[in-house]
């Protein structure tokens, strides 16, 4: 009996040693910042005092959500970030103070366990919560996600007039991501983002989620922010090991394939247009990397533009007036339907190891010059093809021209009545074509059931073909 017990103990010990050799690498200790808040709002949205949350959302209450703002502060490192390689600390101890915005379910029972930590986009000179205003807010709240926005970059905090400090000195005047003006780039942004995630996942002191217990956290960023997260993934993630998955929207470069952490990119037609001129490089799919391309979608589409303009007008932020672009701007293709599904599939990937389905690439005409291949009506060929492309009532593209950011807005030109009559001699034929395209996308996993039903109901209620 003694020999049997000893032998059993040896086997257990050997098995434990074998298993430990395949265990996930230990996580480096990301410092916990000091969290203050929630910061009280002392004025209603639009008040000239600006003593409220910048770009506050007017949707949260109707979905049973709470929006709160917190300040986080601590010290951050600077890093050397070589391409496709782990970074190294070049200096440390740089003080910072910034903000995070938390949108969470009011009741714990509604929380699905997933936090989306979004790197706020600052390309326009101020913080934009790109996925939220891009049309995904309602999906996030219906499905019980927690969304957290992080002001990680210098422009969002320090830009003259539109940065947080100038926009509301009383509320944001103490924020600083430049170590007192001594660091005039975004070198501290990587550590700031890590520490924001740490404050959410492993709170010390103030808990920004008010007792919600997250099971996983996704790093998210759009456009420029997706590019920043590409660097973060390649160089900082191996040091911090904080995030369970990465969602890169309308941007992001080549990522490493040896880290074992899923990366999901969703590109609009605009980014594929940039591929043709060498500004964007596509990366093959792999067991930890997936790219979807959506025909007819724009980098900054009509939904995004309308929501940003509404917030900017309320908050006194100048925006580009409509009508300046070469073509009518703002693709109205429902790009956000694909992005909704992609978020859910990334969660499934993280939880169960099931990669998202692959998707066809947008077709290219080899030229010269290389261009996006299009049909006789100017619609892109290939890619994920929503009903807006397969049963079109307008020209929706990811291309445009003109001043400012026009090249990002895409195009929307409704078909004339003669074209609609030619395409859809009856209302029933239009609805049937929408139904077929929508069910095809649903079966392939490119859209959710709710969004599929919405598309079909919208078609049935339309006057196309009547």
Task: Report percent pLDDT > 90 for the chain.
Answer: 89
Residue 23 in this model has a pLDDT that exceeds 50: no
SS3 assignment, position 268: strand
Q: What pLDDT, on a 0 to 100 scale, did the predictor assign at position 322?
A: 81
Return the DSSP state at 109: G
Q: What pLDDT, on a 0 to 100 scale, did the predictor assign at position 321?
A: 79
Averaged pLDDT of the chain: 92
- Of the given ranges (16-30, 191-205, 274-288), which has the lowest mean pLDDT? 16-30
- Of the given ranges (42-51, 319-328, 413-422), which has the lowest mean pLDDT? 319-328
**Residue 95 — very low, low, confident or very high, per pLDDT cuts 50/70/90?**
very high
d(CA 394, CA 34): 51
Residue 7 in this model has a pLDDT that exceeds 90: no
Answer for the pair 156, 122: CB distance below 8 angstroms, yes or no: yes
Residue 25 in this model has a pLDDT that exceeds 50: no
How confident is the model over 441-463, as a mean pLDDT?
98
**Residue 142 — very low, low, confident or very high, per pLDDT cuts 50/70/90?**
very high
What would the pLDDT profile of 55-93 be if each residue is shown by its tens digit?
A: 999 999 999 999 999 999 999 999 999 999 999 999 999
**Residue 158 — very low, low, confident or very high, per pLDDT cuts 50/70/90?**
very high
Residues 6+ apart with CB under 8 A from 54: 126, 127, 164, 167, 168, 172, 315
Residue 19 in this model has a pLDDT that exceeds 50: no
Residue 423 in this model has a pLDDT that exceeds 50: yes
Q: What pLDDT, on a 0 to 100 scale, did the predictor assign at position 279?
A: 77
d(CA 436, CA 424): 14
**Residue 323 — very low, low, confident or very high, per pLDDT cuts 50/70/90?**
confident
What would the pLDDT profile of 97-109 be if each residue is shown by its tens digit?
A: 999 999 999 999 9
Q: What pLDDT, on a 0 to 100 scale, did the predictor assign at position 361?
A: 97
CA distances for 221 relative to 131, 152, 154, 252, angstroms: 8, 11, 16, 9
Return the DSSP state at 146: E
How confident is the model over 131-150, as a mean pLDDT?
98
What would the pLDDT profile of 184-239 be if each residue is shown by its tens digit?
A: 999 999 999 999 999 999 999 999 999 999 999 999 999 999 999 999 999 999 99
What would the pLDDT profile of 329-340 be if each residue is shown by its tens digit?
A: 999 999 999 999
Q: How far apart are the first and last CA of the chain?
A: 87
Helices (H), 202-326: 224-231, 237-240, 269-275, 302-315
Residue ranges and CATH numbers for the domains of the chain are 35-366 (3.40.50)
Strands of the sheet containing 65-80, edge to edge, are: 34-36, 65-80, 88-105, 146-150, 114-119, 216-222, 245-249, 263-268, 289-294
Residue 17 in this model has a pLDDT that exceeds 50: no
Distance of CA 426 to the CA centre of its chain: 39
Q: What is the value of pTM for the model shown?
A: 0.92
- Tell me which residue has tokens 């392939």: 444
How confident is the model over 318-322, as a mean pLDDT?
81
Q: What pLDDT, on a 0 to 100 scale, did the predictor assign at position 404?
A: 84
How confident is the model over 437-464, as a mean pLDDT?
98
**CA atoms lying within 13 Å on the CB side of residue 156:** 24
d(CA 318, CA 142): 32
């Amino acid at each position: 009996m003694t020999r049997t017990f000893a032998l059993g103990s040896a086997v257990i010990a050997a098995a434990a040693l074998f298993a430990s050799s395949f265990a996930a690498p230990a996580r480096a200790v990301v410092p916990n910042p000091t969290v203050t808040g929630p910061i009280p709002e002392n004025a209603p949205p639009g008040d000239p005092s600006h003593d409220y949350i910048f770009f506050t959302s007017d949707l949260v209450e109707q979905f049973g959500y709470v929006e709160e703002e917190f300040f986080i502060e601590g010290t951050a490192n600077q890093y050397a970030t070589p391409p496709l390689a782990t970074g190294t600390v070049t200096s440390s101890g740089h003080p910072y103070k910034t903000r995070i915005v938390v949108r969470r379910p009011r009741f714990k029972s509604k929380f699905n366990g997933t936090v989306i930590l979004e790197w706020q986009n600052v390309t326009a000179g101020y913080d934009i919560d790109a996925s939220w205003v891009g049309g995904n807010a309602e999906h996030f709240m219906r499905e019980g996600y927690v969304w957290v926005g992080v002001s990680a970059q210098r422009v969002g905090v320090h830009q003259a007039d539109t940065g947080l400090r100038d926009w509301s000195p009383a509320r944001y005047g103490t924020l600083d991501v430049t170590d007192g003006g001594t660091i005039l780039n975004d070198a501290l942004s990587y550590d700031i983002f890590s520490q924001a995630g740490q404050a959410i996942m492993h709170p010390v002191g103030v808990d920004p989620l008010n007792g919600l217990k997250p099971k996983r956290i996704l790093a998210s960023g759009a456009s420029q922010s997706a590019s920043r997260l590409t660097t973060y993934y390649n160089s900082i993630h191996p040091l911090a090991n904080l995030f369970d998955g990465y969602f890169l929207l309308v941007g992001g470069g080549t990522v490493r394939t040896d880290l074992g952490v899923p990366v999901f990119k969703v590109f609009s037609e605009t980014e594929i247009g940039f591929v043709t001129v060498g500004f964007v490089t596509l990366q093959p799919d792999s067991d930890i990397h997936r790219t979807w391309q959506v025909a007819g979608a724009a980098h900054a589409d009509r939904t995004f533009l309308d929501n940003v303009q509404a917030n900017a007008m309320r908050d006194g932020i100048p925006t580009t007036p409509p009508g300046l672009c070469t073509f009518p701007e703002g693709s109205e293709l429902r790009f956000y339907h694909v992005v909704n599904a992609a978020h859910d599939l990334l969660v499934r990937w993280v939880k169960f190891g099931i990669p998202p389905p692959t998707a066809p690439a947008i077709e290219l005409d080899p030229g010269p010059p290389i261009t996006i291949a299009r049909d006789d009506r100017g619609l892109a060929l290939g890619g994920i093809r929503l009903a807006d492309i397969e049963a079109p009532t307008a020209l929706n593209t990811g291309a445009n021209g003109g001043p400012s950011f026009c090249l990002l807005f895409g195009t929307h030109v409704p078909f004339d009545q003669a074209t609609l009559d030619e395409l859809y001699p009856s209302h029933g034929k239009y609805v049937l074509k929408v139904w077929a395209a929508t069910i095809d996308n649903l079966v392939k996993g490119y859209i959710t059931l709710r969004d599929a039903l919405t598309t079909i109901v919208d078609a049935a209620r339309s006057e196309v073909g009547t």
